[in-house]
Amino acid sequence: MAAAAAIGLCEDDRGIPRSLPLLAALVEEDARLHAAAAAAAASQPAGSDLVRAFRGRTVPKVPIRDFLERIYVLVRSEAATGQVIRVDGTCFVLAGVYLTRFIGSHAARVAGIVVEPSTAHRLVAVALFLGGHSPKNWAAVFEAASDRAIRTGEIAGLEERFLRAISSRLFVDGYEFKCFCGVLEKVPLPPRGSCASRKRQADAMAGDEEEEHRRVRTCLPPPTVMSN
């Protein structure tokens, strides 16, 4: 179990923790499993405020893995308000634990809310927000990473609903943390690109990361807006 935790927190050639793509794969698999039922339900008005809130007005088009990687790159590289904001592999494990608690909560079961294509991004964003114990200005990063589908102003309300559903249970002991790392390690990771030349691939990915950072960086509001 300790070995699973160590593997989950190690980083790849770009400095991306392994727990990020593993969490993304878990969320994407859940979303696929519930996609058909969610599509049928979407034709009817949402009967719950919780479902309406996490569906939002706009569903992000960016895949969950890319969404999380954008967040990671922006948070790691930017200190737009002069604050040093850190996110690491631990944050993605904690986010997974919190998301599991939320989906298993009485409030979520009564509302009938699950991880599906229209709720996945907001659910994982708030879980990561709590897992990172982030300053409020991190909400603007979610807006940029989602191509403005998730608005900065949404995050506070979503956080409040999420915390209420899990009764503000944020403490995760070492055993639960290691157990969830073990869960993540069982998630099959879809292949990404060719393995023919690892160095060439790593160099290309590093370039892509920098380009993505520049592109999404232009979407971030100026520091005076983020700090409000």
What's the confidence (pLDDT) of residue 136? 58
The span from the CA of 164 to the CA of 19, in Å, is 26
Per-residue pLDDT of the chain (228 residues; tens, 9 = 90+): 666 566 667 888 888 999 999 999 999 999 999 998 877 766 666 678 899 999 998 999 999 999 999 999 888 766 445 555 668 899 999 999 999 999 999 999 999 999 999 999 999 999 999 998 665 567 888 999 999 999 999 999 999 999 999 999 999 999 999 999 999 989 888 776 433 333 334 444 445 545 544 544 444 444 332 233
What's the confidence (pLDDT) of residue 13? 83
What's the confidence (pLDDT) of residue 228? 30
The span from the CA of 89 to the CA of 176, in Å, is 15
Give the largest Cα separation in the chain, rounded: 51
What's the confidence (pLDDT) of residue 199? 37
Is the distance from CB of 30 to CB of 74 less than 8 angstroms? no
In this structure, how many other beta carbons lie within 10 angstroms of the beta carbon of residue 69? Answer: 21
Closest-CA residue to 135 (of 202, 69, 68, 87): 87
Instruction: Pull the structure tokens for residue 79.
Output: 């200190």
Instruction: Give the C-alpha distances (Å, rounded to integers) separating 193 from 74, 91, 204.
Output: 23, 26, 11
